[in-house]
Structure 1
């Protein structure tokens, strides 16, 4: 499932980084913290891999 917005893609990237141990879980805020707890590494990878080109900044 591709990311629907730039913000979602960025949050998934941050959560994925924490899952892999590159950054601390304590550094996560908001959506990325929720994604960290509720999604697998594979799901996060899929969202983070989405291109940002042509995506809106936020989707309601």
Structure 2
């Protein structure tokens, strides 16, 4: 399941870093905090690896 927006991809990257121990979980906010608790490392890795090119910043952005 690839990320649908740049914001989702960034949040997954932050959650993955916390799960791996690179960043303390206390530094996470919002979506990244809930992703770190509810998703597997493989799922986070898949979302974080999604290329950002061509993705909107947020899901609802339509580019205009």
Cα shift readout 1:8-58 (whole Å, capped 9, x = no counterpart):
000000000000000000000000000001000000000000000000000
Q: Normalising by structure 2, report the TM-score.
A: 0.92
Cα RMSD, aligned residues only: 0.5
Q: Normalising by structure 1, report the TM-score.
A: 0.98
Structure with higher Rg: it is: 2
Unaligned runs of 5+ in 1: none
Unaligned runs of 5+ in 2: none
* Structure 2: distance between partners of 1:31 and 1:3: 13
How many aligned positions are there?
Answer: 60
* Matched position secondary structure for 1:59: coil
Residues 1:53 and 2:53 aligned together: yes
Superposition pairs for residues 20-59 of structure 1, below 5 Å? 20-59=20-59
Higher relative contact order (CA 8 A, sep 6+): 1
